[in-house]
Amino acid sequence: MNLSATHLHLMLNHVPVLGTIFVLIVLLWGLVRRSREITSLGLLFTVILALVTIPVYLTGDPTEHQQRHAPWFDRDRAHEHEEKAERGLIAVLATGAVALGALFVRRGGRPGNAAVTGLATAGVAVSAVLFALAALEGGQIHHEELRPGAVNVAPEGSVPGGDARSP
């Protein structure tokens, strides 16, 4: 089995999109419950998510170079996807740094700063939106059916809402 940068990018690209949603839920849960343990876990997940996002971003450029001569490849969409992904990366790395700082302040059982935890939570929410936009643009690179104004045409012989084999 030959794993290329494209394989890795397509396998890992869901982590920032779904991970930010998961981490946001954990952080909100911890804040609502006023649980130090749950909030600390959410902050730790934020740091891990920031680190895991780095290889997702780094495999994007080799993926573009590998696919750019394909007949379906849209260079403008790929550029937009890259720009949006870069914004998401910057947001999640900054948020990861804030979360790491919050964890550092909390070390040894010291009380945490609710404002810093709130800032990390807001950063995760912003990152989630940015990654969702990047994913939408990325999906449109190869999937024309996802593009605005796309007309989905049923395969020849199929019945709308039914099985093509049924009479």
- In single-letter form, the type of residue at position 165 comes to R
Q: Tell me the pLDDT tens digit for each residue of 5-19.
A: 777 877 888 899 999
pTM over 0.85: no
Q: Tell me the pLDDT tens digit for each residue of 75-89.
A: 888 888 889 999 999
